[in-house]
Chains A and B, each alone.
Chain A
């Protein structure tokens, strides 16, 4: 029996904007509001807002000295400063990925963990079962609206919303704001490669914030279709595609997000894999034309099956098909020509270093 779709608190806004809605991880989500490609282009040239309220947020409270949370996630939760965010993973004992997440340190003894929609219930039970009895965890996902404001115009838009204090946010920093009729958490983070912000607020004022942002003439809504193109152009992995319970952060080239100096679940297995070398690697590749590889297409190298595609799209900024996938480590070198079997013919592609879209580091980008 089909499960009933969940709606975000902004669902009616999307419907009135004539969004094309589709199921995503059990949620009825806006895929686009007219044109996926236009929304991707607008994000890179101006500013877009994305409703990503389907994602999960947990609040963990625990003593700052040697918290059990430190053993559960790969991010250095004890070493990070207050009002900073860090990307990391929840791993299984064998080092495979249960989820990727961002940890926000709200206070010495309080963290917010932001997790994926599809995994949020499972993540919550797992973390809860692993935390020490003196720690507490609360799933606040249902009461939170999350809106991402992304694009080169986002600093202006956010300054209009939150005032000059927004300029004090460093890349991967966040702060608390009293705006409209509620409390906001705003971080300078995102999933597009553009300057941008992620806003967390009480669900009750979600519509008020959405409309207030939409009133800015530069702002347009963008759906999950554009979000997927934008993240893929930057070579950012997506949980469920590049990152799964069959892959490890070493295979996916994400070692820099592992704090190997601390003890965490999965670390021992990763040390073994690191020493032995991963048998396969996550690569990015560019097709020789406009045809896009698709999820689960086979990758051929030296006329033999050598891997599979995890994500593929047409990149409107490169005017070519781009994709990511896993390939045998000994065939994963940059510059190698590969073939993608789409099931409707083959595409010639070349392995390249990600990001596909070469941009200055957003860390250094000018903020008004």
Chain B
């Protein structure tokens, strides 16, 4: 399986990514995750303003094959949901790191980034799963 990764992003072992800009992080799932899930059919819009904890449940995602959970890579308050996913969840398949982003979180503890993997570490981790 060829897996693409994105430079400068941070990764979890549950295959979420975080792109951090200032005090905010944009969150999505990795190319590995979208390939494993297959055609994405639904992403549950989370409540805007909701507080989430690092590595705790963020929202639900469904593919043709299965329903599963997305976990928050970092703690904070949800400030945006990618509305385009409501009609076109396949954006996650087509562009997992850009157009297929899922939520934005205003970070409550930016130091938590130390618990995430770098692109190099994630590449080794995901490559080793096959």
Contacts and interface: CB of A to CB of B under 8 A. Distances in A.
Interface of A: 20, 32, 35-38, 225, 229, 289-292, 294, 313-314, 342, 344-345
A345 B60 contact: yes
A200 to B, nearest CB: 29
Contact of B89 (A20, A35, A290, A313): A290
Contacts of A314: 39, 41-42, 62, 64
Given A292-B67, A314-B41, 11 more contacts: A36-B65, A225-B38, A225-B64, A290-B42, A291-B42, A292-B64, A294-B67, A342-B67, A344-B60, A344-B67, A345-B60
7 contacts: A36-B39, A37-B39, A37-B41, A38-B39, A290-B62, A291-B67, A292-B62
Nearest to B93: A35
Nearest to A225: B64
Interface residues of B, number: 12
A32 B38 contact: yes
Interface in B60-114: 60, 62, 64-65, 67, 89-90, 93
A37 B64 contact: yes
B60 A290 contact: no
A97 B60 CA distance: 37
A289 B45 CA distance: 13
Contacts of A225: 38, 64-65
A19 to B, nearest CB: 13
B10 to A, nearest CB: 27
Contacts of B60: 344-345
Interface in B29-67: 38-39, 41-42, 60, 62, 64-65, 67
B41 A35 contact: no
Interface of B: 38-39, 41-42, 60, 62, 64-65, 67, 89-90, 93
B30 to A, nearest CB: 18
B2 to A, nearest CB: 11
Contacts of A342: 67
Contacts of B62: 290-292, 314
Interface centre among B39, B42, B93 (most CB of A within 10 A): B39
Contacts of B89: 290
Nearest to B43: A290
A35 B93 CA distance: 10
A20 B42 CA distance: 22
Given A290-B42, A290-B89, A313 B67 contact: no
Contacts of B41: 37, 290-292, 314
B67 A36 contact: no
What are the 9 closest A-B residue pairs judged by CB atoms, nearest first?
A: A314-B41, A290-B42, A37-B39, A36-B64, A291-B42, A290-B41, A35-B39, A36-B39, A344-B67
Contacts of B64: 36-37, 225, 229, 292, 313-314
A344 B57 CA distance: 12
B90 to A, nearest CB: 8
Contact of B42 (A37, A229, A289, A294): A289
A320 B67 CA distance: 15
Contacts of B39: 35-38, 314
Contacts of A294: 67
A229 B90 CA distance: 17
Contacts of A292: 41-42, 62, 64, 67
A36 B38 contact: yes
B35 to A, nearest CB: 9
Contacts of A32: 38
A312 to B, nearest CB: 10
Nearest to A291: B42
Nearest to A315: B41
A220 to B, nearest CB: 16
B95 to A, nearest CB: 15
A291 B39 CA distance: 13
A287 to B, nearest CB: 10
Contacts of B90: 37
A305 to B, nearest CB: 20
A31 to B, nearest CB: 8
A36 B65 CA distance: 9
A314 B38 CA distance: 13
